[in-house]
Chain A
């Protein structure tokens, strides 16, 4: 695993260099994301999280991933990924697949990853959260015409390693905090008195702090996850109405070959 760096550089999103004025809440969310990649989380150190983020960034230009994406089966092509590779090869492979070909991830692949032993369920969920949020940051930068932001140096610290006691398989591949009474105080701590939370809001609940991170991204980039299932809801003071947002969202999902 990569070594931690002691110094902490000042993180900057680069949004201030865009020709397009970026809303303050978006820039705050981006700064928080950037800094979170270099701080220790629940199951990974800051150095590990930073390495995961760097690998996620490199995956987009990986030749092996491009070859796999073009293949009839993404599991039929072997090779070595192009990237910093500061992590175990099995972990690098997971990151690259999530970034470059998520629509063809399958249950049997997930089961193999768990059986290999390089990742636990908890570390997988946290790795996923870091990977996808780094990718989002870079997608946004590309869209508004600025360079991808530099990641701050890793901050020393130990992961908290707290797994929700109620977490169990509840419909997804990964364990989740179950809803209602079964989830008890752990559900209430994350979701208050809500009885229903969309699956996407529960997907990362094995690592509750990553649910909070996803909610922060959702609020600033789209809308609070609480409102997603209300087709009449639109965030105030946005330049896009709900129809326009959903058109863009649906097209992104189609291009990602995502059924959801």
Chain B
């Protein structure tokens, strides 16, 4: 990407300053949509529009929609994590953040 330092804690708690440009507005809107909070959607959408414009709102909505697709496909088909860099990175991030989501290995064993 561009060498910017990112604080991944924001992914877990939704509140830490991620270091991503307009990250707070992106996370607030994402959380509002995911929790289906109509009032919060309206408020955070206006904030996001103020920073990234109407196209930014649309593109954020599209990414939220997309990851609701791929997360479910991955979980419901039991695909393994791709090998190499992706695998190392994914397990390292999970450990660092203390995220306790079931790994593919754990879900295969249940």
Contact = CB atoms under 8 A, between A and B. Distances in A.
Given A173-B77, A256-B68, A20 B58 contact: yes
B14 to A, nearest CB: 6
Contacts of A158: none
B4 A240 contact: no
A137 interface: yes
24 contacts: A21-B54, A21-B58, A104-B102, A107-B108, A129-B73, A136-B69, A143-B29, A143-B45, A144-B57, A199-B74, A199-B80, A239-B53, A239-B58, A243-B2, A246-B1, A247-B11, A247-B26, A250-B8, A256-B34, A257-B102, A259-B102, A259-B103, A260-B74, A260-B75
A132 B68 contact: yes
Nearest to B36: A142
Interface in A207-260: 214, 217-218, 220-222, 229, 231-232, 238-260
A145 interface: yes
Contacts of A135: 68-69, 72
Nearest to A106: B110
Contact of A249 (B49, B57, B66): B66
Contact of A143 (B61, B99, B108): B61
